[in-house]
Amino acid sequence: MSSPFAHFQQCNFFQTPSSTRRILFSLRYRRAELFVLKFCHQSVLQSFRSSVSHCIRYPCPHPNHPTSTHTMTLLQSLLHLTNFKNPLLQTLVPSVSAAFAIQTAFAIPSIACQSDRFYDFSGSLTYLAVTALSLYLPALRSRHATLTSSQSPLPHLLSPFLAGTMTGAPAFNWRQVVLSGAVSIWATRLGAYLFQRVLEEGKDSRFDEIKTSAPRFWGAFMAQATWVSVCLMPVMAVNAVPAAAFAGPALRVTDVVGLGLYVGGIVFEVVADRQKARWMREKREKVHDEVFLSSGLWAKSRHPNYFGELTLWTGIATTSVGILLARPVQAVLGLSPQAALALCYVSPAFVTFLLLKVSGVPLSEKKYDRKYGDRKDYQEWKRDTPKCFPKFF
């Protein structure tokens, strides 16, 4: 593969007209950006393939195997560093640390290339990784403690999922799996949608000014790590609960209400996003000449996708609070009822504040006002349509 900068040596670049220089530099800069991002992408894939290949060849490695020894040492170090007395901290600290580590890994090449293409993708990936870690780590810690006390070798990475068949007790409670799956479905869907959109449009206009400043762009990635950590707080807290501490009825009112809100919210968000994507595609194809979207759910709310997101996070918090308010769970995690409520509802409260006051509605409204503020139809739509919470009747 030739270097993306090789063409600078093949022509007398600085003797060309200024306009041509700008075009050439833009093209070569884009090649450099793609070169760096492709290199990072290939490195991650190669590492993942090597890990999977090794797990297939050595699903239960011998303790004297070099890779097994290194894995054991790394895992023991992680478990030792996060071996707090409180099970909640044992899950929260490594999970939040992982969120900032992943965002840092994406921030470095993105800042170097001044590229915003992988910003939303990295956010979704962080959600998936942190959710999986918070679900997996407590079971792995428990399994490792059992094997250590019996002087058994460290099992392979699927052992927490097999623990139920070996001990007769389930490794996870169904609520932990459902909540983790709910977050994973939302993150995968939203990440794929946003990543496809930025690929089609070539950029994300939110970062036109930010990505040229390394400190501000770095701050955007760290803000995203904070967003992931705060939003996942109720799910991480539920995943920190030992399976044996789940008591009470098989199905609570909070389970039904919370999961109902989640389903309604994610359906609302998906429909709103699809309506907007179809409208934009038809506008590019000259199917219509509308200047802004004001039909479908967008006739009920100026930001129906944000309403859907607020609703689904409220549903996750509601299901979580029903779990954390149980006395056996509070005793294990050392939580008071007030702390349990705060830990759960800080997530939808933070999302509401972020979308309505910081990055969601304010940025969109400012952009729309600048483009269409002098149009009478836009002024009427803005006056008659609620900002976020839909007008159904």
Is residue 79 scored above 80 in pLDDT? Answer: no
Q: What is the pLDDT of residue 38?
A: 54
Q: Which of 391, 384, 388 is nearest to 365 (CA)?
A: 388
Q: What is the pLDDT of residue 50?
A: 52
Q: What percent of the chain has pLDDT over 70?
A: 71
Residue 200's CB: how many other CB atoms inside 10 A?
11
In tens, the pLDDT along 357-373 reads: 988 898 889 888 988 98
Q: What is the pLDDT of residue 19?
A: 47
Out of 156-160, 168-172, 388-392, least confident range: 156-160
Expressed in angstroms, the distance from the first to the final Cα of the chain is 61
Out of 37-41, 128-132, 192-196, least confident range: 37-41
pLDDT bracket for residue 230 (50, 70, 90): very high
Is residue 199 scored above 60 in pLDDT? Answer: yes
CA 291 to chain centre: 32
The larger pLDDT score, comparing residue 189 to residue 42, is at 189
Is residue 312 scored above 80 in pLDDT? Answer: yes
Query: Average pLDDT, stretch 233-240?
Result: 96
pLDDT bracket for residue 51 (50, 70, 90): very low
The larger pLDDT score, comparing residue 60 to residue 38, is at 38
CB-side neighbour CA atoms (13 Å) of 57:
9
Q: What is the pLDDT of residue 251?
A: 87
Q: Supply φ then ψ for residue 392, to 5 degrees.
A: -80, -25
In tens, the pLDDT along 82-114 reads: 777 888 999 999 999 999 999 999 999 988 888
∠373-378-381 over CA atoms, to 5°?
135
Is residue 158 scored above 70 in pLDDT? Answer: no
Is residue 205 scored above 50 in pLDDT? Answer: yes
pLDDT bracket for residue 2 (50, 70, 90): very low
Query: Average pLDDT, stretch 257-286?
Result: 94
Is residue 291 scored above 80 in pLDDT? Answer: yes
Q: Which of 381, 84, 123, 299 is nearest to 227 (CA)?
A: 123
Q: What is the pLDDT of residue 145?
A: 62
Is residue 289 scored above 80 in pLDDT? Answer: yes
pLDDT bracket for residue 170 (50, 70, 90): low
Is residue 11 scored above 50 in pLDDT? Answer: no
Average pLDDT over the chain, rounded to whole? 79
Report how far residue 176's alpha carbon sits from residue 180's, in angstroms, rounded to the nearest whole number: 6
Q: What is the pLDDT of residue 196?
A: 81
What one-letter code names the amino acid at 382? K
pLDDT bracket for residue 70 (50, 70, 90): low
Q: What is the pLDDT of residue 284?
A: 87
Please say whether the beta carbons of 210 and 216 come within 8 A: yes
Q: How many contiguous H segments (helices) and E segments (strands) does the chain have?
A: 14, 0
Which of 16-25, 119-128, 132-141, 162-171: highest mean pLDDT? 119-128
CB-side neighbour CA atoms (13 Å) of 1:
10
CA 125 to chain centre: 5
Please say whether the beta carbons of 381 and 290 come within 8 A: no
Run of H or E including 19: helix 18-57
In tens, the pLDDT along 335-345 reads: 999 999 999 99
What does DSSP assign to residue 155? P
Q: What is the pLDDT of residue 62?
A: 47
Indicate the domain borders of the chain: 1-51, 83-246, 248-393
